[in-house]
Chains A and B, each alone.
Chain A
Amino acid sequence: MAASKKTWGKLAKLSLVMLMAGTVVLSGCSSKSGGSTDTSGGSSGSNDGKQVTLKVEIFDRGNTPEPYTITDSYLTRYIQDNFGTPNNIKMEFVPVPRSEEIKKLNVLMASGGDVPDIVFTYDTPTFNRYAEQGGLTELTDLINEHGPNLKAFLDEDAMSYGQYMGKQFAVPGKRAFLGKYSSFIRTDWLDKLGMDVPQTTEELYEVLKAFKEKDPGETGGKVIPFGMTIEPAQYDPLIWSFIQPTTEEQKYTLIQKLGANDYPTLLPGFKDALQFMNKLYNEGLMSRDFSLDEDKKQLTQDVTNGLVGFLTEDYPNLYYADGTYDTLLKNQPDAKLEPVDPFTNSEGKHAKPEYAPNGMYIMIPKTSKHAVEAIKYLNWMAAPENLLALQNGVEGENYEMVDGIPVIKPDAPQDVIDRLYNSGDIAIIANGNFVGDDAQNREKLTTNFPERFQDLHRKAVEIAATDTFKPVNFDRPIESEAKYGTNLQAKYEEMIVKTAMAKPEDFEKTFETTMKDYMVSGGQAILDERTKVYQEMQSK
């Protein structure tokens, strides 16, 4: 018995030793980590004849056409040939799955190795977090020294979006067009009913009621006067049109920025917006299952089947070739779905939000030894001729110049079109095409669409840019927004869904409970912090 106890003890010791050995091996290894594993030289950026490898993140969306791979396509070769080789730099693209972008970036950063020299994200909290925790290279001097094109391309306004506490920690991508939303209505239904295009919210309500009662689309009672989902493009324009005119102070303190967007949860008028939605829902004027439609699939289906009379949407979404409108026309050749701008606020304006002027946050991790090359690369990209080539391909093959606008040739062979399949993820410093002044940039948007829809698209672009207001920008990040943002987005949507679907007599109660839940889940913390930061800004 004693002996067997001994054996047991030995075994226990053995396993302990093995466990420790394992841990030692591991900790030994992990202490080794840190820094780029790159061995191809390039000490602190000086390019002394030795070839340097520059690693650049690239989104993998699983849509690479044959014969390319995500890391070896027309554009990556173009970059190697026109930027890499002349500068003795080997370009290496590191694919990151689009939908797991932040998770993967986080793990790469936290494990301290194999981080690309250029990483990017659209996510503001992620940028703030990296900057706050000291993981990013300060860029001001680098840009001044190596980025003249970049500086010219990104004006000061756009540049400021890449700052954290006054320091430049990111090169912000620049957005070519800031408009977001337009509304669309079945004008053939209006004609049938002899009604005018609605110009105000009240007129729209009358139209919706008429759509419901008179069913001009002959849907057999299936008509959905107002197509709704639980996506911002469908509820945002409605809600913001109910928001009362706000003072500067109210804007700073009462708006809640969750993720990258401003939310009007605490602004005066928000409750009225929800009340209006509740009315639409209970009168059967709005998609009944909107709370389930998280990817607009049902909405698209309803629109293409000619059931929807009115909807709001990201301005270009309906007019893609083989897209929603095309399919609707296949199903109902006489249908007409045209841009309108009916929602009006108390001042009679068609107020709607627009994008912040920045796109991606392009960052250079502190561990990168090739910050200089990274800026040189972005600078190269910012030169107009290079940006043009990355976004539009080859003149005469991919596009023709018409009035200074590179117009994509619709009849180009597929392999020529495929060259640019991910140009948006390659030309990271720009979100959208920059071809000249604002008007030209807008016209360029339209020329990307099938000719038969260009007039409609042009109108939608115009509406998307009408009476817009900018997101509020603090000069420092609001910490509680980063912390509670994702959770509050869900709470916000929950509030919309529950209040809309409540019986009219239960609206008050539902609004109160969901609002209370929102406030204790971080809404109050954000309000407090924003108020404090605003007062600090004022007292300066």
Chain B
Amino acid sequence: MSERVSNRVFDTVNIILLAVFVLICLAPFFHIIAISFSSNRAVTSGDVTLFPVEFSLQAYQSVFSDSSMIRSLGFTVMLTLLTTVMCMIMTIIAAYPLTKKKLKGRKFFMFIIIVTMFFSGGIIPEYILVKDLNLLNTIWSLVLPGLISPFYLIILISFFNGIPESLEEAAEIDGTSQIGTMLRIILPLSLPVIATLSLFYAVGRWNGFQDTLLYITKEELYPLQLKLYQLVQNNMITDLTRNEGPSAGIRAATESLKAASVVFATVPILIVYPWLQRYFVSGVMLGAVKG
């Protein structure tokens, strides 16, 4: 009886704590949405907290009527898909052999991969490399340099390691090749982590723009985050812009336009996770196989 009571107490406290944290996580996003629907006056005066003040759709009208934003969204979706698929394939084919303790040279390979987590050549040689490979101003300059994250690779290896070797041995005795084992045994059992890492790669690419600042000068290859960054950053006073003085008639974006752009650039990637969650459920059933 007391067990049941303590269970109920546990559940209630758990739900309340989570609900509070959920609200805290949601509030700033609500704030941004509220700003995007508010008038310029209300925003500059700081009247907007969680609900729109002087409701206005103007910001969204300008976002959606800007064909470069729409085109950029299309490009970003394509770029993210391409990156995610390629990164995932590369990470998987790197991770699987490296789980084999009997693979000779495994530690050496691991070492040279881990070294790259810490040492890098810096932006100048990286730029020269991309330039010499003739990748500047192509989509590949945003895909190839980041194909494998050593960090995600290590995570994938550790998940692969968690799969009982008996399953693989059984397959090998049946005469399945190693690649066959990987495809037919390991991958189906690893859907949750593969979904997770795909999400990580996708979000990383979606949110990343530092490389585009250097490698892309063609507007049709501007990802959404770069446009967003320019919108948010370029109107800010920085050490760089201070010396311009108030000379040029530079059009500054209003706060609500910035907020609407943030929403526009964030919502598409936000819905990826709920969609991926199905793989987390199927993983649970597969987990039972392990016994």
A interface vs B, CB < 8 Å? 4, 7-8, 11-12, 15, 26, 29-30, 32-33, 60-67, 69-71, 94-95, 97-104, 106-107, 110-111, 113-114, 122-123, 175-177, 180, 231-232, 259-261, 295-296, 300-301, 304-305, 314-317, 322, 324, 327, 330-331, 355, 359, 420-425, 431-432, 448, 486, 489
Report A-chain residues with C-beta under 8 Å of the C-beta of B247.
175-177, 359, 424, 431-432
Judge whether B231 and A62 touch: CB under 8 Å: yes
Provide the bound-state CA to CA distance between A101 and B229, in Å.
14
Provide the bound-state CA to CA distance between A12 and B239, in Å.
50
Provide the bound-state CA to CA distance between A296 and B235, in Å.
12
CB-contact partner of A315 in B104, B246, B248, under 8 A: B246
Other contacts beyond A104-B213, A122-B243, A122-B244: 13, CB < 8 A: A61-B234, A63-B253, A95-B219, A103-B123, A104-B214, A111-B127, A111-B131, A180-B245, A259-B243, A301-B44, A304-B45, A423-B249, A425-B250
Report B-chain residues with C-beta under 8 Å of the C-beta of A26.
129, 132
Report A-chain residues with C-beta under 8 Å of the C-beta of B67.
66-67
Report A-chain residues with C-beta under 8 Å of the C-beta of B235.
61, 63
Provide the bound-state CA to CA distance between A113 and B44, in Å.
44
Report A-chain residues with C-beta under 8 Å of the C-beta of B244.
122, 359, 424, 431
- Interface residue B136 (Cβ < 8 Å from any Cβ of A): yes
Judge whether A324 and B105 touch: CB under 8 Å: no
Within 8 A of A (CB), among B245-285: 245-253
CB-contact partner of B250 in A261, A304, A424, A489, under 8 A: A424
CB-contact partner of A33 in B46, B131, B246, B253, under 8 A: B131
Distance of A380 from chain B, by nearest CB (Å): 20
Report A-chain residues with C-beta under 8 Å of the C-beta of B166.
none
- Interface residue B236 (Cβ < 8 Å from any Cβ of A): yes
Report A-chain residues with C-beta under 8 Å of the C-beta of B213.
97, 100, 103-104
Given A69-B219, A296-B237, A304-B44, the answer on whether A421 and B104 have CB atoms closer than 8 Å is no
Judge whether B44 and A421 touch: CB under 8 Å: no
Within 8 A of A (CB), among B153-175: none
Judge whether A63 and B124 touch: CB under 8 Å: no
Given A30-B128, A97-B234, A424-B248, the answer on whether A62 and B227 have CB atoms closer than 8 Å is yes
Report B-chain residues with C-beta under 8 Å of the C-beta of A316.
246
Judge whether A301 and B45 touch: CB under 8 Å: yes
Provide the bound-state CA to CA distance between A314 and B242, in Å.
10
Judge whether B236 and A295 touch: CB under 8 Å: yes
Judge whether B234 and A448 touch: CB under 8 Å: no
Given A94-B217, A355-B245, the answer on whether A99 and B236 have CB atoms closer than 8 Å is yes
Judge whether A314 and B246 touch: CB under 8 Å: yes
> Which 6 A/B pairs are nearest by Cβ-Cβ distance?
A424-B248, A62-B230, A29-B132, A301-B46, A61-B234, A432-B247
Within 8 A of A (CB), among B84-111: 104-105, 108
Report B-chain residues with C-beta under 8 Å of the C-beta of A421.
249, 251
Provide the bound-state CA to CA distance between A465 and B227, in Å.
38
In this complex, the interface size class of chain B, counting residues with CB under 8 Å from chain A, is 35 or more
Residue of A nearest to B228 (CB): A62
Distance of A444 from chain B, by nearest CB (Å): 11
- Interface residue B141 (Cβ < 8 Å from any Cβ of A): no
Report A-chain residues with C-beta under 8 Å of the C-beta of B246.
314-317
User: Which has the most chain A C-beta neighbours within 10 Å: B68, B136, B253?
Assistant: B68
Judge whether A305 and B46 touch: CB under 8 Å: yes
Given A29-B132, A97-B213, the answer on whether A12 and B108 have CB atoms closer than 8 Å is yes
Report A-chain residues with C-beta under 8 Å of the C-beta of B68.
64, 66, 69
Judge whether A322 and B40 touch: CB under 8 Å: yes
Judge whether A98 and B230 touch: CB under 8 Å: yes
Distance of B121 from chain A, by nearest CB (Å): 10
- Interface residue B238 (Cβ < 8 Å from any Cβ of A): yes
Provide the bound-state CA to CA distance between A481 and B65, in Å.
47
- Interface residue B6 (Cβ < 8 Å from any Cβ of A): no
- Interface residue B241 (Cβ < 8 Å from any Cβ of A): yes
Judge whether A99 and B234 touch: CB under 8 Å: yes
Judge whether A8 and B105 touch: CB under 8 Å: yes
Judge whether B104 and A7 touch: CB under 8 Å: yes
CB-contact partner of A66 in B65, B217, B240, under 8 A: B65
Provide the bound-state CA to CA distance between A520 and B239, in Å.
22
Provide the bound-state CA to CA distance between A95 and B216, in Å.
9
Provide the bound-state CA to CA distance between A110 and B242, in Å.
26
Provide the bound-state CA to CA distance between A114 and B41, in Å.
44
Judge whether A422 and B132 touch: CB under 8 Å: no
Report B-chain residues with C-beta under 8 Å of the C-beta of A64.
68
Given A71-B219, A101-B240, the answer on whether A324 and B253 have CB atoms closer than 8 Å is no
B interface vs A, CB < 8 Å? 40-41, 44-46, 65-68, 104-105, 108, 112, 123-124, 127-129, 131-133, 136, 213-214, 217, 219, 226-227, 229-231, 233-253
Provide the bound-state CA to CA distance between A114 and B240, in Å.
23
CB-contact partner of A259 in B127, B128, B227, B239, under 8 A: B239
User: Which has the most chain A C-beta neighbours within 10 Å: B40, B136, B244, B249?
Assistant: B249
Judge whether A175 and B65 touch: CB under 8 Å: no
Report B-chain residues with C-beta under 8 Å of the C-beta of A176.
247
Judge whether A102 and B40 touch: CB under 8 Å: no
Provide the bound-state CA to CA distance between A260 and B241, in Å.
11
Residue of A nearest to B137 (CB): A114
CB-contact partner of A60 in B65, B108, B230, B248, under 8 A: B230
Provide the bound-state CA to CA distance between A94 and B68, in Å.
18
Judge whether B128 and A102 touch: CB under 8 Å: no
Provide the bound-state CA to CA distance between A261 and B147, in Å.
44
CB-contact partner of A423 in B133, B231, B233, B248, under 8 A: B248
Distance of A23 from chain B, by nearest CB (Å): 11
CB-contact partner of B214 in A94, A107, A113, under 8 A: A107
Report B-chain residues with C-beta under 8 Å of the C-beta of A97.
213, 226, 229-230, 234
Judge whether B45 and A110 touch: CB under 8 Å: no
Provide the bound-state CA to CA distance between A501 and B160, in Å.
56
Distance of A376 from chain B, by nearest CB (Å): 24
Distance of A70 from chain B, by nearest CB (Å): 6
CB-contact partner of A123 in B65, B229, B240, B253, under 8 A: B240
Report A-chain residues with C-beta under 8 Å of the C-beta of B237.
231, 295-296
Judge whether A330 and B127 touch: CB under 8 Å: no
Distance of B171 from chain A, by nearest CB (Å): 24
Distance of B104 from chain A, by nearest CB (Å): 5
Judge whether A63 and B129 touch: CB under 8 Å: no
Provide the bound-state CA to CA distance between A422 and B214, in Å.
22
CB-contact partner of A99 in B105, B233, B249, under 8 A: B233
Residue of B nearest to A426 (CB): B248
Report B-chain residues with C-beta under 8 Å of the C-beta of A11.
104-105, 108
User: Which has the most chain B C-beta neighbours within 10 Å: A60, A106, A305, A420?
Assistant: A60
Residue of A nearest to B133 (CB): A29
Judge whether A107 and B123 touch: CB under 8 Å: yes
What would be 11 A-B contacts, judged by CB atoms less than 8 Å apart? A63-B252, A66-B68, A98-B241, A102-B240, A106-B124, A111-B124, A111-B128, A304-B45, A314-B245, A359-B247, A489-B239
Provide the bound-state CA to CA distance between A361 and B114, in Å.
44
Provide the bound-state CA to CA distance between A360 and B62, in Å.
32
Judge whether B253 and A66 touch: CB under 8 Å: no
Judge whether A431 and B245 touch: CB under 8 Å: yes
Judge whether B44 and A175 touch: CB under 8 Å: no
Judge whether B65 and A12 touch: CB under 8 Å: no
